[in-house]
Amino acid sequence: MKNSKPTATSYFTRDRAWHPKAYAPGYKSSVLRAPTRPLIAIGNSLSETTGPAFGDDIIGPLDNDLTLNFARPGESAIGERILVHGRVLDERGQPVPKVLLEFWQANAGGRYRHKKDGYLAPLDPNFGGCGRTLTGDDGSYAFRTIRPGPYPWPNGPNDWRPAHIHISVFGQAFAQRLITQMYFEGDPLIPICPIVRTIADPAAIEQLTARLDMNSSAPMDALAYRFDIILRGSRSTLFENRPEGN
């Protein structure tokens, strides 16, 4: 038997005080859906450091354009036209290339195309509300949509979600899997939202707030917002010589 170096990469430990806690009673649904026993720490084996990859073949030409991908021919969704773009990086600042991002959101009036959404605001016949894209070699991504409206929800007697877009991200490992929400700079509903407030640290909330990016807007067409997404960093570099670097 020969000695061999460990083969498994591992990822930076999640800071669970930076993330929202499971039990956050201001967000009532979390009360019965939060585990009460401590999580068992197991670190990363190959089960956690591998993960699915998706190829360009799954991405259709309109998948990253929510203004058009559900619209009737010659029409488009109603609302404030925006581009959302940014980069997916890890905690070392390295780009995370060729990973799948998926987006979903309400329409301009705050109504979701979902049979459980009974809000009075009408559906937009030209807006479905889902989109997806792969990051480029430099971790960059972009999609076009309309700015979603705020909507009321049955939590407190008068709670309203800020305008937000849900974002699902695959990294290169199942351990990096993440779902979050993107908010819009300057929205006064952000600091009073019970879901936002599941996050304790104001700097973490700021990290979920997209900034208006006039330099990336399309004149006479669409405003732009910049939103970078950070995934867990990898520990692999120091002792291992991987073909892709880190």
**Residues of this chain, 173-232, that bind another protein according to CB under 8 A:** 173-175, 177-181, 195-196, 198-199, 204-205, 207-208, 229-232
Among 170, 209, 205, CA closest to 187: 209
Binding flag, residue 25, another protein (CB under 8 A): no
Find out whether 172 and 44 touch, Cβ atoms under 8 Å.
no
Least distance in Å: CB of 222 to another protein? 20
If the CB atoms of residues 42 and 220 are measured against another protein, the closer one turns out to be 42
Q: How far is CA 235 from each of CA 12, 43, 89, 91, 136, rounded to the nearest angstrom?
A: 6, 12, 14, 10, 23
Residue type, 241: N
Exactly one of 23, 112, 113, 197 is catalytic; name it. 112
Q: 111: which residues sit within 8 A by CB, 6+ positions away?
A: 117, 119, 121, 122, 123, 124, 149, 151
If the CB atoms of residues 217 and 240 are measured against another protein, the closer one turns out to be 240
Show contacts with another protein in window 55-114 (CB under 8 A). Answer: 58, 60, 62-63, 69-70, 89-93, 102-105, 112-114
Residue type, 102: E
Is residue 164 part of the annotated active site? The answer reads yes
Binding flag, residue 14, another protein (CB under 8 A): yes
Binding flag, residue 160, another protein (CB under 8 A): no
If the CB atoms of residues 52 and 191 are measured against another protein, the closer one turns out to be 52
Among 25, 45, 125, 191, interactor with another protein by CB under 8 A:
45
H or E element that contains 206: helix 202-207
Is residue 85 part of the annotated active site? The answer reads no
Residue type, 108: A
Is residue 166 part of the annotated active site? The answer reads yes
Find out whether 227 and 87 touch, Cβ atoms under 8 Å.
no
Exactly one of 81, 111, 161, 235 is catalytic; name it. 161
Q: Which residues are catalytic?
A: 112, 151, 161, 164, 166
